[in-house]
Amino acid sequence: MLTRVRNANLARHQIVQIPATKMTRNIASVLQEEGFIQSVEEIGEAQSKQLLLSLKYKGKTREPIITALKRISKPGLRIYAPKKELPRVLGGLGIAVISTSQGVMTDTQARSQNLGGEVLCYIW
């Protein structure tokens, strides 16, 4: 999912289509809440559902809102952070997406709820 969004963002596409899973739905909703994407729409039938993400751009030159998107926890090396060691991305200008026992949320939400978890990605 993250690679598709990054590639579509660099190519300045308006929408990107990704497979719909629980994790991609949760990450997409966090991105929408934080203002990195415009809208999320689910299309397709039960087995082959897809998410359509509308990316955001600013100005006449269509500068992408998402400057960088970096995957942190990978299948070969999972990265976990306790509540006291949750990362700050660019001193608070970006967000870290954390998968906690209470669901997928940003680092600031996890910090306020005193939760640690798996660090999925950084976005700024």
Q: pLDDT digit string (tens) for 12-24?
A: 999 999 999 999 9
Q: pLDDT value at position 85?
A: 94
pLDDT at position 47: 85
**Residue-level pLDDT at 14:** 95
Among 89, 84, 85, 82, smallest CA distance to 106 is for: 89
The predicted pLDDT at position 78 comes to 97
Minimal CA–CA distance to 96: which of 112, 74, 72?
Answer: 72
Quote the pLDDT of residue 92: 84
Q: Match 């999912």 to its residue by tokens.
A: 1
* Spans of the chain, pLDDT less than 50: none
